[in-house]
């Protein structure tokens, strides 16, 4: 089970070159065709989500889509069609929680490749890291929520009296709303935003005095959804900051104190690297540019294109099987040494380049 008690992972000590590791050996016993989780998937448009639980792929109930626990790792499959086309297309993401274990996110990475194999290599693969998710990934959900702890600490899996009290920060505009759990402290409230104090069977929505109307409206939708998930049992109070005093019961529930502010993630220096086995030896990686130059894309190899806030792994049409297989592992290894190692990674085959890929050059 994932959880906040775990030590925060360190990328330099990890190896999503995992292939060959203990995690790999355990999951390798199951092939893509015998993995129960993949049965019947990829046949219709929609989102499917699984979490990794003790090396196993475990289905997440649809009513919990969009909620991610920092102690776990997940796999998310989007099946879609482009306009005026009946061809099914796929994006498969593995999401790594801040406190996910090496075994969990290693298995998620491996199983993502396996899922792509199951889908006849038609999926575009993505790595997502908590608090650094791509806009594409977040766009799948009406509410994108990150919660502390592990999946088994959620409200529906514990008794109401043992449910951990949570404080959420609601940010965003219109459709794109993020709900992030923050430290359960009074000093974390402010007048610019909307907050949700979740006590399990009592929920307070706190509207800061200058919070925007989109955040207020969407937060109300979110808390109503929480009540619905809990069979309407929680009492809900929607509070306007300017209309309540410091003696209000909500304030009394929050301990004194304030969490330390986190600075914005730094940008990485642009670069391009070639992943190749053309020398006849094992696959290797070598820098070919200190900037981003589309003319350096070589159809015979895999090219890692490192942009300031993302990494794109371009798979040349004539790249070898080993080059393709090791592409994500090499990108992960490269990212681990960057100023910001947590940026999203996307593996994209030649001919399937997206608008976002072209925009980095």
pLDDT digit string, tens, across residues 96-145: 999 998 889 889 998 998 999 899 989 999 999 999 999 999 999 989 99
pLDDT for 22 equals 46
Please check the confidence at residue 21 and state whether its pLDDT lies above 50.
no
Do 141 and 32 fall into the same domain? yes
Q: How confident is the model at residue 193, as a pLDDT?
A: 94
pLDDT in tens, 208-221: 999 989 899 999 99
Q: Residue 104 sits in which domain range?
A: 22-146
pLDDT of 194 > 70? The answer is yes
Strand 73-80 with 143-147, pairing: unpaired
User: What pLDDT does residue 279 have?
Assistant: 63
Residue 10 placed within a domain? no
d(CA 325, CA 72): 25
| pLDDT at residue 176 in the model | 76
pLDDT of residue 277: 81
Q: Higher-confidence residue: 3 or 269?
A: 269
Q: How confident is the model at residue 199 (pLDDT cuts 50, 70, 90)?
A: very high
Round the CA-based radius of gyration of the chain to a whole number and report it: 22
- Asked if residue 196 is part of any domain, the answer here is yes
Give a yes or no: residue 152 inside a domain: no
Mean pLDDT of 198-212: 94
DSSP states of 41-77: TTSSSEEEEEEEETTEEEEPPGGGTTEEETT-EEEEE
Phi, psi angle pair for 52, to nearest 5°? -95, 125
pLDDT in tens, 64-110: 999 999 999 999 999 999 888 899 999 999 999 999 988 898 899 98
- Condensed to tens digits (0 to 9), the pLDDT of residues 38-50 reads 999 999 999 999 9
Q: Which long-range contacts (CB under 8 A, 24 or more apart) does 258-265 make?
A: 258/183, 258/185, 258/186, 258/187, 258/188, 259/182, 259/183, 259/185, 259/187, 259/188, 265/131, 265/132, 265/309, 265/340, 265/342, 265/343
Residue 48 inside a domain? The answer is yes
> Is residue 217 included in any domain, yes or no?
yes
pLDDT at 162: 63
Report pLDDT digits (tens) over 271-330.
999 998 876 667 788 999 999 999 999 999 999 999 999 999 999 999 988 888 888 889
The verdict on 301 and 234 lying in the same domain is no
* Mean pLDDT over each residue of the chain, to the nearest integer: 87
Q: How many CB atoms are closer than 10 A to CB 79?
A: 19
pLDDT at residue 20 greater than cutoff 50: no
Percent of the chain residues past pLDDT 90, beyond the cut:
68
Q: Answer yes or no: do 139 and 198 share one domain.
A: no
**How many Å apart are CA 128 and CA 101, to the nearest integer?**
15
**Predicted local distance difference test score (pLDDT) of residue 7:** 53
CATH number at residue 88: 3.40.20.10
Are residues 136 and 312 in contact, defined by beta-carbon separation less than 8 angstroms? no
Does 260 reside within a domain?
A: no
pLDDT value at position 15? 45
pLDDT at 141: 93
Q: Is the pLDDT of residue 26 over 60?
A: no
| Phi, psi (rounded to 5 degrees) for 196 | -125, 120
167 and 138 housed in the same domain: no
Same domain, 35 and 141: yes
Regarding whether 278 and 218 lie in a shared domain, the answer is: no
Joined together, the tokens standing for residue 34 give 């015998």
Q: What is the pLDDT of residue 237?
A: 96
Q: Is the pLDDT of residue 256 over 90?
A: yes
- Say if residue 11's pLDDT is above 50: no
């Amino acid at each position: 089970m994932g959880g906040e008690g775990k030590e925060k992972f360190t990328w330099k000590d990890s190896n999503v070159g995992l292939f060959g590791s203990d995690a790999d050996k355990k999951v390798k016993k199951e092939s893509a065709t015998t993995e129960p989780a993949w049965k019947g998937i990829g046949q219709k448009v929609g989102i499917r989500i699984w979490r990794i639980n003790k090396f196993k792929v475990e289905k997440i109930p649809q009513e919990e889509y969009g909620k991610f626990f920092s102690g776990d790792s997940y796999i998310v499959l989007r099946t879609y069609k482009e306009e005026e086309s009946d061809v099914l297309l796929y994006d498969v993401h593995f999401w790594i929680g801040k406190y996910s274990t090496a075994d969990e996110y290693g298995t998620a990475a491996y199983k993502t490749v396996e899922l792509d194999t199951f889908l006849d290599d038609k999926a575009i693969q993505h790595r997502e890291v908590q608090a650094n998710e791509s806009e594409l990934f977040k766009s799948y959900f009406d509410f994108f929520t990150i919660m502390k702890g592990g999946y088994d600490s959620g409200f529906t899996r514990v008794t109401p009296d043992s449910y951990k009290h949570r404080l959420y920060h609601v940010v965003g505009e219109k459709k794109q709303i993020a709900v992030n759990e923050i430290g359960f402290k009074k000093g974390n409230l402010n007048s610019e935003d909307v907050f949700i104090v979740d006590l399990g069977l009592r929920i307070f929505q706190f509207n800061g005095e200058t919070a925007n109307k989109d955040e207020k409206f969407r937060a109300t939708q979110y808390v109503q959804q929480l009540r619905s998930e809990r069979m309407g049992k929680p009492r809900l109070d929607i509070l306007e900051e300017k209309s309540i005093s410091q003696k209000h019961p909500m304030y009394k529930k929050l301990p004194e104190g304030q969490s330390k502010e986190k600075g914005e993630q730094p940008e990485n220096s642009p670069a391009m690297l070639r992943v190749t086995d053309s020398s006849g030896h094992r696959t290797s990686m070598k820098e070919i540019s200190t900037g981003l130059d589309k003319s350096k894309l070589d159809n015979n190899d895999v090219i890692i294109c490192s942009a300031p806030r993302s990494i794109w792994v371009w798979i040349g049409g004539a790249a070898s099987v080993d080059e393709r297989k090791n592409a994500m592992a090499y990108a992960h290894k490269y990212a681990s040494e960057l100023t910001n190692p947590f940026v999203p990674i996307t593996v994209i085959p030649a001919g399937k380049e997206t608008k976002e890929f072209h925009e980095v050059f």
